[in-house]
Amino acid sequence: MDEKLNVLFVIIETHWWLASLGFIIFHIVRQVLFIPVVIICIAGGALFGGLIGSIYSIVGLTLSSLFFYFLYHQMPRIFEKVLAMKERWFGNRGNLSVGQITVLRLIPFIHFHLLSLVLIETTKTFSKYARASLLTNIPLAIIYTVFGQFITEFSPTAMVGVLIFLSAMLLIMRQKVVVMKWEQFFQKEKQYKRG
């Protein structure tokens, strides 16, 4: 196994341009292969180091988010399952702030593109989405690239502590104002009167 890793590191050192480009492209292809973001970021830290791996992961995750944006707008019927999951998890009444989405991206078991969908609905325009997507991907890439190897070695108590901390951050960064459309309010009222 050590020999295979040594060969991989030699290939990366001699063909760093191709390895870097391949890693960034792998971030985009990752969504088709159903590989979690966390694993790719940890691999980037192991292969390229903390700083360079974080930069590559930020670029790859942002390109992946932009690719999702265009796919969503070109083929919205394909994403009906993601929309149903979004309705089940977040409902249709409130929007999450960019800060909340940033914190939620740090939790490994929350679907990456579910949060991208919430971000699309929160930002409304492509330029705002691109900027917010970049901002929400930076902490994810840095934390899991640099510290990802240590997080997997945490004790269960430490992991619960991290989840409690992230939940507290989620509450602190919440959007303070909830805007409900007139039609949504009265649609719910009609349903209550029928039932």
Going 14 to 17 to 18 to 20, the CA torsion angle's sign is positive
Report, in this order, helix, strand and coil percent for the chain, each rounded to 5: 80, 0, 20
DSSP per-residue string spanning 9-39: HHHHHHTHHHHHHHHHHHHHHHHHHT--HHH
Measured in degrees and rounded to the nearest 5, phi and psi for residue 59 equal: -65, -45
Closest C-alpha among 187, 38, 41 to residue 112: 38
Calculate the CA 47 to chain-centre distance.
21
Neighbour count for residue 68 (Cβ, 10 Å): 22
What angle in degrees, to the nearest 10, is found between the helix axes of 126-146 and 37-48? 60
Domain boundaries, the chain: 2-178
Give the integer Cα–Cα distance in Å for 170 and 125. Answer: 24
Q: Residue 77: its pLDDT value, please?
A: 78
Tell me the C-alpha distance between 70 and 67, whole Å: 5
Flag residues of the chain having pLDDT under 70: 1-2, 4-6, 8-9, 12, 92-94, 147-154, 174-182, 184-195
pLDDT, residue 191, reads 53
CA-CA distances (angstroms) from residue 110 to 53, 62, 173? Answer: 22, 17, 18
Question: How much is the CA Rg of the chain, to the nearest whole Å?
Answer: 19
What pLDDT does 126 receive?
93
Q: What is the pLDDT of residue 148?
A: 56
The distance between the two most distant Cα atoms of the chain, rounded to a whole number of Å, is 70
Global confidence as pTM: 0.69
